[in-house]
Structure 1
């Protein structure tokens, strides 16, 4: 089996791979982690094509976007390769999907920020959102959920800015938001959240509520130091292990019916 995630650097994907490798060892199968170095559609398509050319029987994929990779996945399926989604699906039917209910988790993130703002006596103001891009399904759903928590609440949610999941780019975006006087910043993934926390830290300003997504050492450090309120921690190891299990069942001839399973989320605070 091949495991193709959006990149090979974020701790989220490293942990997902660890979960997959552990399950693969238990089931006596082999998983190759063959992800691009950076979030790039062309590189991800190349990984899919390489897996097909290399004779892999199943591909677990976290799609960078819902459409760009679709034709490559359809070609893989026509070659008899089984497709299972982990974290983020594309617009192609697959055996199964294991991901966070991102819209619900995004709403939870919004509710946590709202509670903190209200507890501080802040009932209005602008809020910045840093997302990866406008295409990645998981992150788009998180933003939708987050925005829904603020409907009718008296806050202004600014136009989303995109940092491509890069912590340095995201920090620059957050710094720009801070100069606009925002009361809160939401990061939609690991790099976005790290950038937001670093910008709040660098600003030296109190009272900006930072909320984000994913769990990394950098993010946990920013929460401990008080620069981020909380993060929505997914369970990428569960996505990886369940993905391998589903691939094995599909290869053994079981019909999984395209089932979508929520792998859960936890709110991590100081």
Structure 2
């Protein structure tokens, strides 16, 4: 797997911090006789997607290891109002911690404040609400790290030249928009012969994602590349290329879950998928919630588990970082079962 220079630098930084910085190890708390378990509630953007179901699997595993209660509930569509209703429900239940992947960070901010005023610890995971009162953001990878890996993978497939478009999902999703901004900057700096022609938002709906990609190809016969910016549009753009019979003519790279992308990697309608270990990300989310509930401060590096021995924490941004993005290809796709 080829790793771009910024991603390699990030990995080196994490290693340096692990060696020179303060590393804190956390052991599972001993259950108290007759005491209630800490309740950590996670509200995804969309319940039922392979990505968030994988996060849920990791959260459940952490709950068993750490003796906490993991509550998982989200909207049935990627709708900010529906998501707000779920958060209100958890506030009424007086859970100990609410962790949210906001569909709309601005509308979520007042609810996080309301939860905090009710004595509940609040945090974000997967996507941030930076202007809110959240106490930590559990981040899968930096925007620059994701952007460089996505663009480098697409550039390799396109021969570093030609026109490409982006099909994204929620128009207000902070993480997706930060990745797009970083991609625009990186392609301008690194690949002057590549031109971004369109950025569209079609929601968390694979059929709508595929239709938008199809529309872009029909409108622009010169289009040579497509980025699926989220886990549904990653599949959608590859499906559109397959259905149009343009495999080998239009190249796609997506931020997609491994097994959902495997058929498209196999027939080459997708050149690569960029992601991270989503189950371990769910594990980290549950672990972070427990630390908030206990009032345990994060260290510069944190030994979360054997699989996550040195998770970095940026105190200035109040951000836990899972690690660098991964390029998923046919060579490593079967290392993941989601």
Question: Aligning the two structures, in what range does the TM-score lie when normalised by the shorter sequence?
Answer: over 0.9
The counterpart of 1:245, out of the listed 262, 287, 310, is 287
Is 1:232 aligned to residue 292 of structure 2?
Answer: no
The answer to whether the 8 A contact 2:273-2:329 is kept is yes
Residue 104 of structure 2 corresponds to 65
User: Is it true that 1:94 corresponds to 2:134 in the alignment?
Assistant: yes
RMSD between superposed Cα atoms in Å: 1.6
Residue 148 of structure 1 aligns to a residue whose secondary structure is helix
Q: Which residue of 2 aligns with 1:133?
A: 170
**Correspondence 1:82 to 2:121:** yes
Cα separation, 1, equivalents of 2:138 and 2:281? 5
Q: 1:263 is matched with which residue: 308, 322, 337?
A: 322
- Quote how far apart the aligned CAs of 1:60 are: 1.6
Distance between the aligned counterparts of 2:226 and 2:176, measured in 1? Answer: 15
SS state at 1:22 partner: helix
Deviations 1:177-202 (A, max 9, x none): 11112100001001111110000001
SS in 1 for 2:187: coil
User: Distance in 2 between the 1:24 and 1:84 partners?
Assistant: 17
Q: Is the 8 A contact 2:255 2:275 kept in 1?
A: yes
Matches within 5 A, 1:159-170: 159-170=198-209
- Aligned pair count reads 266
Is 2:234 the partner of 1:197?
Answer: no
Aligned residue number for residue 52 of structure 1? 91
What is the CA deviation profile of residues 36-61 of structure 1, one whole-angstrom value per residue up to 9, with x for unaligned ones? 11111001111111001012111121
- Check conservation: 2:112, 2:134, Cα contact below 8 A: no
- Contact 1:214 1:231 (8 Å CA) reproduced: yes
5+ long unaligned stretches in structure 2: 1-39, 299-314, 331-338
Distance 1:28 1:17, change over 3 A: same
Whether the aligned pair in 2 keeps the contact of 1:107 and 1:148 (CA below 8 Å) is no
Deviation at 1:104, TM superposition (A): 2.0
1:157-214 Cα distance to aligned partner (Å, 9 max, x none)? 1121111021100100111111112100001001111110000001112321101102
Task: List gaps (5 residues or longer) in structure 1.
Answer: none
- Aligned to 1:227, what secondary structure does the other structure show? coil
| Larger mean Cα displacement after TM superposition, 258-267 or 105-114 | 258-267
Alignment partners' CA distance in 1, 2:275 and 2:43:
21
Spell out the pairing of 1:137-148 with structure 2 (5 A cutoff). 137-148=174-185
The residue matched to 1:67 in structure 2 has which SS? helix
TM-score, normalisation: structure 1:
0.93
Deviations 1:19-70, CA, capped at 9 Å, x for gaps: 1111111111111111111111001111111001012111121111221111
Structure 2 CA distance for aligned equivalents of residues 198 and 231 of structure 1: 14
TM-score of the two chains, using structure 2 as the length reference: 0.75
CA contact under 8 A between 1:110 and 1:147: conserved in structure 2?
no
CA distance in 2, matches of 1:49, 1:103: 33
Q: Deviations over 1:133-166 (max 9, x none)?
A: 3310111122122222321612321121111021
Whole-angstrom distance in 1 between the partners of 2:172 and 2:205? 16
3-state SS of 1:157 partner: strand
